[in-house]
Amino acid sequence: MTDIKALRNDFPITRNFVFLDVANKCAPPQRVADAVCAYVADQSSTGGDKDVWHARVEEVRGLFARLIGASPAEVALVKNTSEGFNLIANSLRYRAGDNIVITDLEHPNNTFPWLRLREMGVDVRIVPSHDGSIDPGDFEEYVDDRTRVVSVTSVACVTGARLDLRGISQVCHAHGAYLMVDAVQSLGILGLDVNADGIDFLASGGYKGLLALHGLGFLYCKAATLKSLRPPVCARANVKVDPTAHKVRSLDFEYREDAGKFEIGNYSYVAVTAGCESLDYILSVGVLAIEKRVLELSGLLIDGITDLGIRPLGPTDARRRSSIVSVVTPDAHAATRALKEHKVIASPREGAIRFAFHLYNNEEDIERALVALREVSGHRCGR
């Protein structure tokens, strides 16, 4: 059994900083940095080998599928979360009077792709949150038989609320609607199973909890949905042609039948290389072990800031919170800059300082963060 506390040494950033910013971007483990350096060195010295690179594409696809409980054929590689949402939003067919349901906890990139559909007569309904969170029952009055998609985050990017995806999916499916999930703030940190949770579509970037690089993201499409989806993009890679052909020999074509129907052009092979290493690392540790550890740490931080008279922005119940803890402050940007002078890295978000944990953090990080927070805030945060 892996001693998760001992894995801290795998992350160079822990030698110099208290890194509590994985909800913004990751600091990858050394093995990822080594793999990326080896990739660049090989391409620089030999030109690289595309057969090897393509094998890594299939490897990372399979690793991601294992992580979320899917089949590799249900996984497409994309650049980021935003691309995944745009692909699905523009691949479904709509009629005037259809509706999309989202929440007021969503990141803009899970909002604008749906708002654009209003040009087609599609209504966008926004479910309001309460106390920084939202419950499955809150969707009941917004979802009806004309709802095409309910699109939600797995973890709210500001409040850190963890949504009950299984409960929300039951509301969706009772009306024949799809459930799409923005999983970028949970994958690699919290457990998720697309089948058990009733997820039809899921998108995530690889540069946060998955510990990889910008330029690699994933789009999951449940197998039963694929035939009805018509991609808004077209190139050699996502249609049924010889992948080595450099000339169009027939003007008739069909899209691929698997999730690869959303893939066009070359991949970011360096990001794919990073993803192979990072996903293998996460799977070797075990996501449930990571989840247990980060929930323990986020709970300790909540206890600590409460003792300082500081109000956490989101839920404090272990079943509803995540790796993210945000605290309200009069000037979050100034406070975050001051924290960095104390070697504590976090992010300002919507008037709050957002802290986010991963497997490399420990109790000492929390103590140092609390000391720094007390000094920079003067006990003024959210009293």
- Residues 117, 94 contacting (CB under 8 angstroms): yes
Q: Please indicate, yes or no, whether residues 369 and 232 belong to a single structural domain of this protein.
A: no
Strand partners, 205: 217
Q: Please indicate, yes or no, whether residues 263 and 291 belong to a single structural domain of this protein.
A: no
- Residues 329, 382 contacting (CB under 8 angstroms): yes
- Tell me, yes or no, whether 383 lies in a domain: no
Alpha helices in 286-362 (DSSP H): 287-307, 332-341
Last residue of a domain, one of 249, 283, 317: 283
DSSP string, 80-105: SHHHHHHHHHTTS---TT-EEEEETT
Task: Please name the residues in contact with 335: beta carbons below 8 A apart, sequence gap of 6 or more.
Answer: 329, 348, 353, 373, 376, 377, 381
Q: Containing H/E element for 233? A: none
Q: Please indicate, yes or no, whether residues 220 and 338 belong to a single structural domain of this protein.
A: no
- Tell me, yes or no, whether 47 lies in a domain: yes
Q: Please indicate, yes or no, whether residues 13 and 120 belong to a single structural domain of this protein.
A: no
Q: Please indicate, yes or no, whether residues 23 and 82 belong to a single structural domain of this protein.
A: no
Residue with tokens 């499955």: 136
pLDDT in tens, 153-173: 999 999 999 999 999 999 999
Joined together, the tokens standing for residue 81 give 């979360």
Q: Containing H/E element for 305? A: helix 287-307
pLDDT in tens, 47-97: 999 999 999 999 999 999 999 999 999 999 999 999 999 999 999 999 999
- Tell me, yes or no, whether 24 lies in a domain: yes
155 φ, ψ to 5°? Answer: -135, 125
- Residues 361, 355 contacting (CB under 8 angstroms): no
Joined together, the tokens standing for residue 121 give 């007569």
Among 172, 180, 165, which Cα is nearest to 134's?
A: 165
Q: Please tell me the distance from the alpha carbon of residue 372 to that of residue 361, in angstroms, as a whole number.
A: 16
Spans of the chain below 50 pLDDT: 379-383
Q: How many domains does the chain have?
A: 2
Neighbours of 333 (CB within 10 A): 13
DSSP string, 246-298: -S---S---B-SSGGGG--S---HHHHHHHHHHHHHHHHH-HHHHHHHHHHHH
pLDDT at 118: 97
Neighbours of 307 (CB within 10 A): 9
Last residue of a domain, one of 267, 283, 299: 283
Residue 177, amino acid: A
Q: Please indicate, yes or no, whether residues 275 and 301 belong to a single structural domain of this protein.
A: no
- Residues 347, 157 contacting (CB under 8 angstroms): no
Among 141, 107, 137, which Cα is nearest to 125's?
A: 141
pLDDT at 376: 84
Among 2, 32, 17, 12, which Cα is nearest to 211's?
A: 32
Q: Please indicate, yes or no, whether residues 130 and 12 belong to a single structural domain of this protein.
A: no
Q: Please tell me the distance from the alpha carbon of residue 146 to that of residue 123, in angstroms, as a whole number.
A: 10
pLDDT at 261: 97
Q: Please tell me the distance from the alpha carbon of residue 97 to that of residue 91, in angstroms, as a whole number.
A: 18
Last residue of a domain, one of 283, 303, 331: 283
Q: Please indicate, yes or no, whether residues 118 and 239 belong to a single structural domain of this protein.
A: yes
Any idea what the CATH number is for the domain that residue 369 is in?
3.90.1150.10
Q: Please indicate, yes or no, whether residues 309 and 266 belong to a single structural domain of this protein.
A: no
What is the residue range of 57's domain? 33-283
Q: Please indicate, yes or no, whether residues 49 and 123 belong to a single structural domain of this protein.
A: yes
Joined together, the tokens standing for residue 294 give 């980060």
- Tell me, yes or no, whether 120 lies in a domain: yes
- Tell me, yes or no, whether 103 lies in a domain: yes
- Tell me, yes or no, whether 174 lies in a domain: yes
Among 170, 182, 261, 178, which Cα is nearest to 225's?
A: 178
Pairing of strands 147-153, 99-103: parallel
